[in-house]
């Protein structure tokens, strides 16, 4: 199954992707995670991405497309993949079409998680992430059993620096201006499946499963 998970920052893409990939045995490909890992290691990619990520702006298309092209050619993508946070511009979507068609493959579903802007702000500023395993929590909506500690691995939880109120505004504007037009692009291809992302995490997962089974 070749899947794309779309939605504005804070819609729940990472949270849902974590659950679905475990069930389907496909890799979770998050360009945001790839940039953060490269930034942490200080690689040339990380240095390039940092000024954009820190400002809440999109990283330039050529850089971003290169990463995904390489990743999709790896063996573990043969069974399928879940793209989270890519594509985010029309150029990225067109490049993805080219990459996949050159591999003789296509996209099965593009799922859009719909969440109102006012709720996104609360989700993003309360988000916490495990330093060790990357699991995502929320201080109010999905708190860990012990404050600041990961349920799964005991790792320390941290807040992303771009989840500050100041950066979140820029990121949501980037979404509206550059990413939202993609919905029409995929609607036109008959691939778009729209889901209410405002419900409880488990309810969204249940609906997502139904959608992927083609019963929704
Ligand atoms: P994205 O990857 O789309 O930016 P995340 O999956 O990281 O979003 O979710 C953003 C924040 O909202 C996290 O703190 C997460 O725990 C929380 N969250 C995700 N889905 C829901 C939901 N359905 N209801 C309430 N909170 C949620
Ligand atoms: P969220 O889903 O919460 O917005 P991500 O982890 O997906 O966050 O992305 C974090 C940052 O990484 C973005 O603000 C942007 O700077 C960069 N980024 C991630 N994916 C892309 C992409 N497809 N194109 C350009 N920049 C990206
Ligand atoms: Zn952890």
Alpha helices by DSSP H, listed for the chain, are: 13-24, 31-41, 44-55, 61-72, 90-102, 117-125, 165-174, 181-188, 201-213
Catalytic residue among 128, 167, 171, 193: 171
pLDDT digits (tens, 9 = 90+) for 127-182: 999 999 999 999 999 999 999 999 999 999 999 999 999 999 999 999 999 999 99
Q: Could you tell me how many residues make up the chain? A: 216
Minimal-distance CA residue to ligand 1 atom 11: 123
Structure confidence at residue 144 (pLDDT): 98
Closest CA to 52 of 177, 170, 178, 181: 170
Q: Which atom of ligand 1 is nearest to the CA of 9?
A: 4
Q: Which ligand is nearest to the CA of 85?
A: 2
Please spell the DSSP secondary structure of 165-185, one letter per residue.
HHHHHHHHHHIIIIITHHHHH
Q: Please, what is the end-to-end C-alpha distance for the chain in angstroms?
A: 17
| Mean of all residue pLDDT scores within the chain | 96
> pLDDT tens, 60-91?
999 999 999 999 999 999 999 999 999 999 99
**Catalytic annotation present for 127:** yes
Q: What is the mean pLDDT of residues 184-194?
A: 98
Q: What is the mean pLDDT of residues 114-122?
A: 96
Q: Which residue has a Cα nearest atom 18 of ligand 1?
A: 12
Q: Which residue has the tokens 């889901």?
A: 195
Q: Residue 214: what pLDDT?
A: 80
Does the C-beta of 12 come closer than 6 Å to ligand 1? yes
Give yes or no for residue 171 CB within 6 A of ligand 1: no
């Amino acid at each position: 199954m070749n899947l794309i998970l779309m939605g504005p920052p804070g819609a729940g893409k990472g949270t849902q992707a974590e659950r679905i990939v475990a069930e389907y045995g496909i890799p979770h490909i998050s360009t945001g995670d790839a940039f953060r890992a490269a930034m942490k290691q200080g690689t040339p990619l990380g240095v390039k991405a940092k000024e954009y990520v820190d400002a809440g702006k999109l990283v330039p298309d050529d850089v971003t497309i290169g990463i995904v092209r390489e990743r999709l050619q790896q063996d573990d993508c043969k069974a399928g993949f879940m793209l989270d946070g890519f594509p985010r511009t029309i150029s990225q979507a067109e490049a993805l079409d080219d990459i996949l068609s050159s591999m003789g493959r296509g996209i099965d579903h593009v799922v859009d998680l719909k969440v109102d802007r006012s709720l996104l702000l609360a989700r993003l500023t309360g988000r916490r992430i495990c330093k060790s395993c990357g699991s995502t929590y929320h201080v109010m909506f999905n708190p860990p059993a012990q404050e600041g500690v990961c349920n799964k691995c005991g790792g320390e939880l941290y807040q992303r620096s771009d989840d500050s109120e100041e950066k979140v505004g820029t990121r949501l504007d980037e979404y509206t201006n550059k990413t939202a037009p993609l919905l029409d692009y995929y609607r036109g291809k008959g691939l778009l499946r729209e889901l209410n992302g405002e419900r409880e995490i488990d309810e969204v997962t249940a609906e997502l499963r139904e959608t992927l089974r083609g019963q929704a």
